[in-house]
């Protein structure tokens, strides 16, 4: 079996030309920061019948099919950030590698399977967004590759052979994803063989129930193995086009219309003609950098004299000192040029800040300031408001900028019995609250804890609060809430105690005060690994059916 470089080594090789080796191997897997994966189930005895609309996710990787009873497909999204500066021509090969490590005999009552792995598995690629969602179940619009599994793999054979590995050529699809600007390359596995259950992970259970299963030796999560050419061809950069070279400009630089591999860069590729007074320069496809339009140096002020130096770019020299000008504010008077800037004396009074999404505008410190309409109890779609609950408080279902900050567990009327809100919610590619809140350590957009190695999530629990997203929901009093997860282990105790205390101090309809949930990274040797915590909160009305919401909070190491 080939040996692959560790991820840290591969990333370093991508950033520098290494004279000792012609290529570097980059391995992307489930431990790569930003990776996402899930097994997604459609149909199950007692749930909605199998109809192509997935019921739930958050399962190990497997593919399962039993007639019209149940189906499991698996997805994994590989982050492409480490390839941002890699040219398509330098990507020599890309291989998707996955294994069969276990055969499932059942997912529970009513889902008995054959005891054999699927005879074939279909592999689909798609443009990923970094979040494994139940909607990814349907990413089958692109063509697929059929991988022959053989139809004779059982638990007994796996005990003899260990995990069985399969490979799919993914170079063309990866190059396409990079050209389209995709952040992730998504992969979906499914089968048409019924009734079979095939585990594709590294011993995580393989079933929708997540129960431990007997896995074979050497099993791994799926990987993308990328071979990257790091060396220019021999003779490239000597100023003379050699056989196989379409140009040679005497260097091995990219971005000058003759690449570091001595190939003409395509027409329209960005370049620089060396003149700071032109912008938007592009290659003509024949090795020449064509100047773009003139660099605009006009700063719009009569208090400066604008010019451009081809070597250094724009200059804006102070002029018209003491001359009258207009600083553009209705809240100043006596505007005049002062060392290149138009200054005026602040005045007080009402004004109009020109923003239709504010009211009560007044002059404050020379600036016209208004109060946002958010918080007036009226949803203003033209102001990018999704909701307006009459306040500007976050973590109560509607944030301080009037956007939803809570995640509903489904679409049934009872889903308003309990919902989980977030102070810094992570959103998916469609702008909705992500079903998994995955944050990178110290990312200010989602991590409320500045401590290294810990992601802090500010969460609140809303009980019986009506939600306009579900018109059938109504405010519900007298609910009995309970925290099911996190548990009371030493690792989870502090988070559990904070949630318990918050729920004890709120009545329905209403939301708890924000509670800090800490999700630490895991350490394995000297490496930091992703950490996660699951929140499960239940609420039950008197004499009615309960609602239980589950959210996974994940913390990724900073790259």
Q: What is the pLDDT of residues 281-301, one digit of tens each?
A: 999 999 999 999 999 999 999
Bridge partners (DSSP) of residue 221 are none
Q: Say whether pLDDT at 210 is over 70.
A: no
Residue 143 and residue 125: Cα distance in Å, rounded? 8
Q: Say whether pLDDT at 211 is over 60.
A: no
Predicted confidence at residue 215, as pLDDT, reads 66
Mean of pLDDT over the chain: 88
Predicted confidence at residue 413, as pLDDT, reads 82
Which of 266-296 are b and which e, b meaning 16 or more Cβ less than 10 Å from the residue's Cβ?
eeebebebebebbeebbbbeebebbbbeeee
Predicted confidence at residue 178, as pLDDT, reads 93
Residue 391 and residue 410: Cα distance in Å, rounded? 25
Predicted confidence at residue 205, as pLDDT, reads 57
DSSP 333: E
Q: Say whether pLDDT at 14 is over 90.
A: no
Q: What is the pLDDT of residues 510-519, one digit of tens each?
A: 999 999 999 9
Q: Say whether pLDDT at 20 is over 50.
A: no
Of 22-31, 270-279, 543-552, least confident by mean pLDDT is 22-31
Q: What is the pLDDT of residues 413-423, one digit of tens each?
A: 888 899 999 99
Confidence of residue 21 (pLDDT cuts 50, 70, 90): very low
Q: What is the pTM of this model?
A: 0.47
Q: What is the pLDDT of residues 107-139, one digit of tens each?
A: 888 889 999 999 999 999 999 999 998 999 999
Element (H, E) at 493: helix 493-504
Q: Report which of residues 213 and 309 the model is more confident about.
A: 309
Of 15-29, 173-187, 222-236, least confident by mean pLDDT is 15-29
Q: Say whether pLDDT at 209 is over 50.
A: no
Residues making up the chain, counted from first to last? 559
Confidence of residue 96 (pLDDT cuts 50, 70, 90): very high
Q: What is the pLDDT of residues 470-509, one digit of tens each?
A: 888 889 999 999 999 998 888 899 999 999 999 999 999 9
Q: Is the peptide bond before 139 cis (omega within 30 degrees of 0)?
A: no
Q: Nearest CA to 59 among 492, 487, 550, 457? A: 550
Residue 213 and residue 357: Cα distance in Å, rounded? 57
> Span 9-15, mean pLDDT?
37
Confidence of residue 23 (pLDDT cuts 50, 70, 90): low
Q: What percent of the chain has pLDDT over 70?
A: 94
Q: Report which of residues 393 and 473 the model is more confident about.
A: 393
Predicted confidence at residue 558, as pLDDT, reads 85
Q: What is the pLDDT of residues 309-341, one digit of tens each?
A: 999 999 999 999 999 999 989 999 999 999 999
Residue 401 and residue 386: Cα distance in Å, rounded? 9
> In sequence order, what DSSP letters do the residues of 148-175 get, joined into one string?
E--S---HHHHHHH-SEEEEEE-HHHHH
Which of 314-332 are b and which e, b meaning 16 or more Cβ less than 10 Å from the residue's Cβ?
eeeeeebeeeebebebbbb
> In sequence order, what DSSP letters do the residues of 521-547 get, joined into one string?
PEEETTEEE-EEEEEEEEEE-TTS--E
Element (H, E) at 497: helix 493-504
Q: What is the pLDDT of residues 34-63, one digit of tens each?
A: 999 999 999 887 777 788 888 888 889 999
Q: Report which of residues 221 and 473 the model is more confident about.
A: 221
Query: What's the CA angle centered on 421, arms 419 and 423, to 5 degrees?
Result: 175
Predicted confidence at residue 434, as pLDDT, reads 87
231 CB-near residues (< 8 Å, 6+ apart) = 17, 18, 19, 21, 22, 23
> In sequence order, what DSSP letters do the residues of 406-462 get, joined into one string?
EE-S-SSGGGGGEEEEESS--B-TTSSBPSEEEEETT-TTT----STTEEEEEEEEE
- What is the sign, positive or negative, of the torsion defined by CA atoms of 431, 432, 434, 439? positive
Whether the Cβ atoms of residue 119 and residue 36 lie closer than 8 Å to each other: no
Predicted confidence at residue 6, as pLDDT, reads 39
Confidence of residue 95 (pLDDT cuts 50, 70, 90): very high
Measured in whole angstroms, the distance separating CA 6 from the mean position of its chain's CA atoms is 23
Q: Say whether pLDDT at 208 is over 70.
A: no
């Amino acid at each position: 079996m080939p040996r692959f470089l560790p991820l840290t080594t591969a990333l370093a090789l991508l950033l520098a030309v290494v004279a000792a080796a012609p290529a570097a191997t980059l391995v992307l897997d489930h431990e790569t920061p930003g990776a996402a994966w899930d097994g997604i189930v459609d149909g199950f005895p007692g749930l909605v019948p199998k109809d192509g609309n997935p019921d739930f996710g958050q399962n190990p990787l497997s593919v399962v099919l039993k007639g019209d009873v149940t189906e499991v497909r698996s997805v994994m999204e590989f982050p492409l950030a480490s390839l941002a500066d890699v040219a398509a021509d330098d990507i020599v090969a890309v291989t998707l590698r996955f294994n069969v490590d276990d055969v499932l005999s059942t997912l529970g009552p009513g889902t008995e399977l054959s005891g054999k792995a699927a005879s074939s598995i279909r592999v689909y690629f798609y443009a990923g967004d970094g979040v494994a969602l139940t909607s990814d179940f349907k990413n089958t619009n692109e063509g697929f590759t059929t991988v022959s599994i053989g139809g004779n793999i059982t638990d007994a054979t796996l005990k003899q052979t260990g995990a069985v590995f399969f490979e799919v050529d993914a170079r063309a699809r990866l190059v396409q994803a990079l050209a389209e600007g995709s952040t992730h390359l998504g992969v979906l596995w499914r089968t048409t063989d019924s009734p079979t259950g095939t585990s594709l992970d590294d011993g995580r259970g393989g079933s929708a129930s997540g129960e431990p299963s007997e896995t074979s030796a050497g099993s791994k999560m799926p990987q993308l193995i990328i071979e990257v050419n790091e060396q220019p061809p021999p003779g490239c950069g000597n100023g003379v086009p050699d056989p196989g070279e379409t140009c040679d400009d005497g260097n091995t630089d990219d971005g000058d219309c003759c690449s570091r591999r001595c190939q003409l860069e395509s027409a329209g590729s960005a370049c620089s003609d060396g003149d700071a007074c032109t912008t938007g320069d592009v290659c003509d496809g024949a090795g020449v950098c064509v100047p773009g339009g003139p660099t605009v140096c006009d700063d719009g002020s009569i208090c400066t004299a604008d010019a451009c130096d081809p070597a250094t770019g724009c200059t804006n020299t102070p002029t018209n000192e003491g001359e009258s000008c207009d600083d553009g504010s209705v809240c100043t008077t006596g505007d005049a040029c002062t060392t290149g800037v138009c200054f005026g004396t602040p005045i007080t009074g009402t004004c109009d800040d020109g923003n239709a999404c504010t009211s009560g505008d007044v002059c404050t410190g020379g600036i016209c300031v208004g109060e946002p309409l958010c918080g007036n109890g009226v949803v203003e779609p033209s102001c990018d408001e999704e909701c307006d609950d009459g306040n500007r408080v976050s973590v109560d279902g509607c944030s301080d900028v009037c956007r939803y900050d809570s995640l509903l567990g489904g679409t049934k009327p009872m889903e308003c019995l309990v919902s989980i809100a977030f102070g810094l919610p992570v959103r998916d590619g469609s702008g909705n609250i992500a079903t998994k809140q995955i944050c990178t350590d110290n990312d200010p957009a989602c991590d409320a804890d500045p401590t290294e190695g810990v992601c802090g999530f500010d969460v609140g629990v809303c009980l019986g609060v009506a939600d306009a997203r579900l018109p059938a929901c109504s405010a519900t009093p007298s609910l009995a809430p309970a925290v099911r997860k996190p548990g009371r282990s030493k690792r989870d105790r502090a988070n559990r105690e904070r949630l318990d205390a918050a729920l004890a101090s709120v009545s329905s309809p209403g939301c708890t005060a924000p509670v800090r949930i800490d999700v630490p990274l895991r350490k394995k040797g000297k490496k930091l690994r992703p950490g996660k915590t699951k929140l499960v909160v239940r609420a039950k009305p008197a004499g009615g059916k309960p609602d239980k919401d589950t959210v996974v909070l994940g913390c990724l190491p900073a790259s």
